[in-house]
Amino acid sequence: MQQNQALQELLEALPADERLRGRTALITGSSSGIGEAIAKVLAASGAEVVVSGRNSDRAGAVADAIRAKGGTAHVVTATLDAEPSEIREFAARAEAALGGSIDILVNNAGVYPGGSTADVTDEEMQALWATNIRAPHVLVATLAPRMAERGHGSIVNIGSWMARVGVPYMALYPATKAAIEQLTRAWAAEYGPSGVHVNTVAPGATATPGNGAFVDVLAAMTKDTPAGAPVRPIDIAYAVRWLVSDEAAFVHGATFDIDGGIDATRMR
Protein backbone atom coordinates (compact mmCIF):
# COMPACT_ATOMS: atom_id res chain seq x y z
CA MET A 1 0.00 0.00 0.00
CA GLN A 2 2.81 2.43 0.89
CA GLN A 3 4.57 1.69 -2.42
CA ASN A 4 1.37 2.37 -4.37
CA GLN A 5 0.86 5.64 -2.50
CA ALA A 6 4.44 6.67 -3.19
CA LEU A 7 3.98 5.93 -6.90
CA GLN A 8 0.82 8.03 -7.07
CA GLU A 9 2.57 10.91 -5.32
CA LEU A 10 5.41 10.77 -7.86
CA LEU A 11 2.95 10.74 -10.76
CA GLU A 12 0.98 13.62 -9.27
CA ALA A 13 4.15 15.69 -9.01
CA LEU A 14 5.26 15.18 -12.62
CA PRO A 15 6.49 18.44 -14.17
CA ALA A 16 4.95 19.34 -17.51
CA ASP A 17 7.03 19.85 -20.65
CA GLU A 18 6.48 20.02 -24.40
CA ARG A 19 8.82 17.35 -25.80
CA LEU A 20 5.95 15.19 -27.10
CA ARG A 21 3.53 17.99 -27.94
CA GLY A 22 1.45 17.18 -31.03
CA ARG A 23 1.98 13.40 -30.82
CA THR A 24 -0.61 10.75 -30.15
CA ALA A 25 -0.03 7.60 -28.15
CA LEU A 26 -1.78 4.29 -27.47
CA ILE A 27 -0.62 2.46 -24.35
CA THR A 28 -2.10 -0.98 -23.82
CA GLY A 29 -2.76 -2.15 -20.29
CA SER A 30 -2.56 1.40 -18.96
CA SER A 31 -5.30 1.34 -16.33
CA SER A 32 -2.76 0.57 -13.57
CA GLY A 33 0.86 -0.19 -12.80
CA ILE A 34 3.55 0.27 -15.44
CA GLY A 35 1.06 1.20 -18.15
CA GLU A 36 -0.57 3.85 -15.98
CA ALA A 37 2.83 5.41 -15.27
CA ILE A 38 3.69 5.42 -18.98
CA ALA A 39 0.39 7.07 -19.92
CA LYS A 40 0.82 9.77 -17.28
CA VAL A 41 4.47 10.47 -18.10
CA LEU A 42 3.82 10.72 -21.85
CA ALA A 43 0.80 12.95 -21.23
CA ALA A 44 2.85 15.19 -18.92
CA SER A 45 5.21 15.71 -21.85
CA GLY A 46 2.38 16.82 -24.11
CA ALA A 47 1.27 13.63 -25.83
CA GLU A 48 -2.43 12.98 -26.38
CA VAL A 49 -2.96 9.47 -25.01
CA VAL A 50 -5.39 6.59 -25.14
CA VAL A 51 -5.67 4.81 -21.80
CA SER A 52 -6.66 1.22 -22.35
CA GLY A 53 -7.63 -1.73 -20.19
CA ARG A 54 -10.38 -4.24 -19.59
CA ASN A 55 -12.07 -2.20 -16.89
CA SER A 56 -13.53 1.11 -18.07
CA ASP A 57 -13.80 2.53 -14.55
CA ARG A 58 -10.12 1.99 -13.78
CA ALA A 59 -9.06 3.31 -17.18
CA GLY A 60 -11.39 6.28 -16.72
CA ALA A 61 -9.80 7.12 -13.37
CA VAL A 62 -6.36 7.26 -15.01
CA ALA A 63 -7.69 9.42 -17.86
CA ASP A 64 -9.41 11.75 -15.38
CA ALA A 65 -6.15 12.17 -13.46
CA ILE A 66 -4.35 13.09 -16.67
CA ARG A 67 -7.02 15.64 -17.59
CA ALA A 68 -6.89 17.11 -14.09
CA LYS A 69 -3.21 17.90 -14.70
CA GLY A 70 -3.99 19.61 -18.02
CA GLY A 71 -3.31 16.65 -20.29
CA THR A 72 -5.46 15.08 -22.99
CA ALA A 73 -6.60 11.48 -22.54
CA HIS A 74 -9.23 9.13 -23.94
CA VAL A 75 -10.46 5.75 -22.76
CA VAL A 76 -10.71 2.82 -25.17
CA THR A 77 -11.35 -0.52 -23.50
CA ALA A 78 -9.97 -3.75 -24.91
CA THR A 79 -9.64 -7.46 -24.18
CA LEU A 80 -6.30 -8.33 -25.68
CA ASP A 81 -6.68 -12.10 -25.64
CA ALA A 82 -9.56 -11.63 -28.09
CA GLU A 83 -9.52 -12.74 -31.71
CA PRO A 84 -7.26 -10.79 -34.11
CA SER A 85 -10.25 -9.17 -35.79
CA GLU A 86 -11.27 -7.66 -32.44
CA ILE A 87 -7.73 -6.38 -31.85
CA ARG A 88 -7.79 -4.66 -35.24
CA GLU A 89 -11.16 -3.13 -34.34
CA PHE A 90 -9.65 -1.92 -31.06
CA ALA A 91 -6.81 -0.26 -33.01
CA ALA A 92 -9.36 1.46 -35.22
CA ARG A 93 -11.27 2.78 -32.18
CA ALA A 94 -8.04 4.07 -30.66
CA GLU A 95 -7.10 5.80 -33.92
CA ALA A 96 -10.50 7.43 -34.11
CA ALA A 97 -10.23 8.68 -30.53
CA LEU A 98 -6.85 10.22 -31.38
CA GLY A 99 -8.07 12.02 -34.47
CA GLY A 100 -7.20 9.43 -37.08
CA SER A 101 -3.57 8.49 -36.46
CA ILE A 102 -1.31 7.00 -33.81
CA ASP A 103 2.29 8.20 -33.56
CA ILE A 104 3.34 6.10 -30.55
CA LEU A 105 2.36 2.53 -29.69
CA VAL A 106 3.40 1.03 -26.36
CA ASN A 107 2.71 -2.70 -26.14
CA ASN A 108 2.59 -2.95 -22.37
CA ALA A 109 -0.33 -5.27 -21.54
CA GLY A 110 0.64 -8.76 -20.47
CA VAL A 111 -0.30 -11.70 -18.32
CA TYR A 112 2.17 -13.66 -16.20
CA PRO A 113 0.77 -16.83 -14.61
CA GLY A 114 3.43 -18.90 -12.88
CA GLY A 115 3.70 -22.40 -11.54
CA SER A 116 5.41 -25.59 -12.59
CA THR A 117 5.41 -26.46 -16.27
CA ALA A 118 3.22 -29.49 -15.69
CA ASP A 119 0.63 -27.39 -13.86
CA VAL A 120 0.15 -24.68 -16.48
CA THR A 121 -3.41 -24.99 -17.75
CA ASP A 122 -4.44 -24.88 -21.38
CA GLU A 123 -6.32 -21.66 -20.67
CA GLU A 124 -3.22 -20.01 -19.15
CA MET A 125 -1.10 -21.16 -22.07
CA GLN A 126 -3.54 -19.69 -24.58
CA ALA A 127 -3.81 -16.43 -22.63
CA LEU A 128 -0.02 -16.02 -22.56
CA TRP A 129 0.27 -16.55 -26.29
CA ALA A 130 -2.73 -14.39 -27.18
CA THR A 131 -2.01 -11.43 -24.88
CA ASN A 132 1.78 -11.31 -24.79
CA ILE A 133 2.61 -12.16 -28.42
CA ARG A 134 -0.41 -12.23 -30.72
CA ALA A 135 -1.94 -8.92 -29.63
CA PRO A 136 1.32 -6.92 -30.04
CA HIS A 137 1.86 -8.59 -33.41
CA VAL A 138 -1.63 -7.67 -34.62
CA LEU A 139 -1.30 -4.10 -33.36
CA VAL A 140 2.07 -3.62 -35.03
CA ALA A 141 0.84 -5.23 -38.24
CA THR A 142 -2.09 -2.82 -38.21
CA LEU A 143 -0.43 0.42 -37.10
CA ALA A 144 3.23 0.25 -38.17
CA PRO A 145 2.51 0.34 -41.93
CA ARG A 146 0.48 3.52 -41.40
CA MET A 147 3.34 5.04 -39.42
CA ALA A 148 5.69 4.05 -42.24
CA GLU A 149 3.46 5.75 -44.81
CA ARG A 150 3.68 8.98 -42.78
CA GLY A 151 7.45 8.54 -42.42
CA HIS A 152 7.58 8.57 -38.63
CA GLY A 153 6.45 6.66 -35.55
CA SER A 154 7.65 4.96 -32.39
CA ILE A 155 6.84 1.53 -31.01
CA VAL A 156 8.00 0.37 -27.59
CA ASN A 157 7.45 -3.19 -26.48
CA ILE A 158 7.60 -3.95 -22.77
CA GLY A 159 9.74 -7.03 -22.17
CA SER A 160 11.19 -8.50 -18.99
CA TRP A 161 14.53 -9.14 -17.34
CA MET A 162 13.51 -12.80 -17.19
CA ALA A 163 13.68 -13.16 -20.99
CA ARG A 164 17.39 -14.04 -20.80
CA VAL A 165 17.67 -16.04 -17.58
CA GLY A 166 16.24 -19.35 -16.43
CA VAL A 167 13.66 -18.91 -13.68
CA PRO A 168 12.10 -22.02 -12.10
CA TYR A 169 8.32 -22.30 -12.16
CA MET A 170 8.09 -19.49 -14.70
CA ALA A 171 8.89 -20.93 -18.11
CA LEU A 172 6.28 -19.62 -20.54
CA TYR A 173 6.09 -15.98 -19.47
CA PRO A 174 9.82 -15.32 -20.01
CA ALA A 175 9.58 -17.21 -23.31
CA THR A 176 6.93 -14.77 -24.51
CA LYS A 177 9.16 -11.86 -23.51
CA ALA A 178 12.14 -13.39 -25.32
CA ALA A 179 9.89 -13.58 -28.38
CA ILE A 180 9.03 -9.90 -27.95
CA GLU A 181 12.72 -9.00 -27.97
CA GLN A 182 13.18 -10.88 -31.25
CA LEU A 183 10.06 -9.30 -32.73
CA THR A 184 11.50 -5.91 -31.78
CA ARG A 185 14.68 -6.60 -33.73
CA ALA A 186 12.75 -7.87 -36.75
CA TRP A 187 10.29 -4.97 -36.72
CA ALA A 188 13.15 -2.47 -36.41
CA ALA A 189 14.72 -3.96 -39.53
CA GLU A 190 11.37 -3.97 -41.35
CA TYR A 191 10.02 -0.54 -40.44
CA GLY A 192 13.10 1.44 -39.40
CA PRO A 193 14.07 2.45 -42.95
CA SER A 194 10.64 4.12 -43.19
CA GLY A 195 11.19 6.23 -40.09
CA VAL A 196 9.56 3.98 -37.48
CA HIS A 197 11.59 3.31 -34.33
CA VAL A 198 10.96 -0.04 -32.61
CA ASN A 199 12.60 -0.84 -29.27
CA THR A 200 12.07 -2.82 -26.08
CA VAL A 201 12.16 -1.75 -22.45
CA ALA A 202 12.78 -4.70 -20.14
CA PRO A 203 11.73 -4.04 -16.52
CA GLY A 204 13.26 -5.85 -13.60
CA ALA A 205 11.36 -6.93 -10.50
CA THR A 206 8.87 -4.08 -10.32
CA ALA A 207 6.68 -2.83 -7.48
CA THR A 208 3.27 -2.70 -9.16
CA PRO A 209 -0.24 -3.08 -7.72
CA GLY A 210 -0.36 -6.52 -9.33
CA ASN A 211 2.65 -7.53 -7.23
CA GLY A 212 1.21 -6.08 -4.05
CA ALA A 213 1.04 -9.46 -2.35
CA PHE A 214 4.74 -10.09 -3.00
CA VAL A 215 6.37 -7.06 -1.39
CA ASP A 216 8.70 -9.21 0.72
CA VAL A 217 9.62 -11.40 -2.26
CA LEU A 218 10.46 -8.36 -4.40
CA ALA A 219 12.58 -6.92 -1.60
CA ALA A 220 14.49 -10.18 -1.23
CA MET A 221 15.01 -10.46 -5.00
CA THR A 222 16.45 -6.97 -5.30
CA LYS A 223 18.29 -6.31 -2.04
CA ASP A 224 21.63 -7.47 -3.49
CA THR A 225 21.31 -5.63 -6.81
CA PRO A 226 23.18 -2.36 -7.41
CA ALA A 227 19.90 -0.45 -6.96
CA GLY A 228 19.05 -2.41 -3.83
CA ALA A 229 15.29 -2.06 -4.30
CA PRO A 230 12.50 -2.98 -6.75
CA VAL A 231 12.04 -0.97 -9.92
CA ARG A 232 9.33 1.68 -9.79
CA PRO A 233 6.81 1.90 -12.65
CA ILE A 234 7.79 5.53 -13.17
CA ASP A 235 11.36 4.44 -13.97
CA ILE A 236 10.01 2.31 -16.84
CA ALA A 237 7.91 5.24 -18.00
CA TYR A 238 10.90 7.58 -18.10
CA ALA A 239 12.75 5.12 -20.35
CA VAL A 240 9.76 4.82 -22.67
CA ARG A 241 9.44 8.60 -22.89
CA TRP A 242 13.07 8.93 -23.93
CA LEU A 243 12.77 6.21 -26.57
CA VAL A 244 9.77 7.89 -28.22
CA SER A 245 11.36 11.34 -28.12
CA ASP A 246 13.56 13.00 -30.73
CA GLU A 247 16.57 12.39 -28.49
CA ALA A 248 16.44 8.68 -29.40
CA ALA A 249 16.48 9.25 -33.16
CA PHE A 250 19.29 6.75 -33.73
CA VAL A 251 17.99 3.98 -31.46
CA HIS A 252 16.57 1.04 -33.42
CA GLY A 253 15.98 -2.56 -32.32
CA ALA A 254 17.48 -2.09 -28.86
CA THR A 255 16.49 -3.59 -25.54
CA PHE A 256 16.92 -1.30 -22.54
CA ASP A 257 17.16 -3.09 -19.20
CA ILE A 258 15.53 -0.92 -16.54
CA ASP A 259 16.06 -3.45 -13.81
CA GLY A 260 18.34 -2.03 -11.14
CA GLY A 261 21.12 -4.29 -12.40
CA ILE A 262 19.42 -7.57 -11.59
CA ASP A 263 20.22 -9.12 -14.99
CA ALA A 264 23.76 -7.82 -15.48
CA THR A 265 25.14 -8.37 -11.97
CA ARG A 266 25.21 -11.04 -9.32
CA MET A 267 26.72 -9.25 -6.34
CA ARG A 268 26.21 -12.02 -3.76
Q: Is 205 helix (H, G, I), strand (E, B) or coil?
A: coil
- Cα separation, 95 vs 225, in Å, equals 41
Residue 211's pLDDT is 66
Q: What is the mean pLDDT of each run of 10 residues along the chain (268 residues)?
A: 69 89 98 96 98 96 97 97 97 98 97 89 95 98 98 98 90 96 98 98 82 74 86 95 98 96 79
Residue 202 · residue 257 · CB < 8 Å: yes
- Cα separation, 25 vs 117, in Å, equals 36
Q: Is 23 helix (H, G, I), strand (E, B) or coil?
A: coil
Domains and CATH numbers, the chain: 23-207+233-257 (3.40.50.720)
130: DSSP letter: I
Residue 212's pLDDT is 62
173 given a catalytic annotation: yes
- Cα separation, 138 vs 255, in Å, equals 21
Residue 188 · residue 172 · CB < 8 Å: no
Query: Which residue of the set 112, 169, 173, 191 is catalytic?
Result: 173
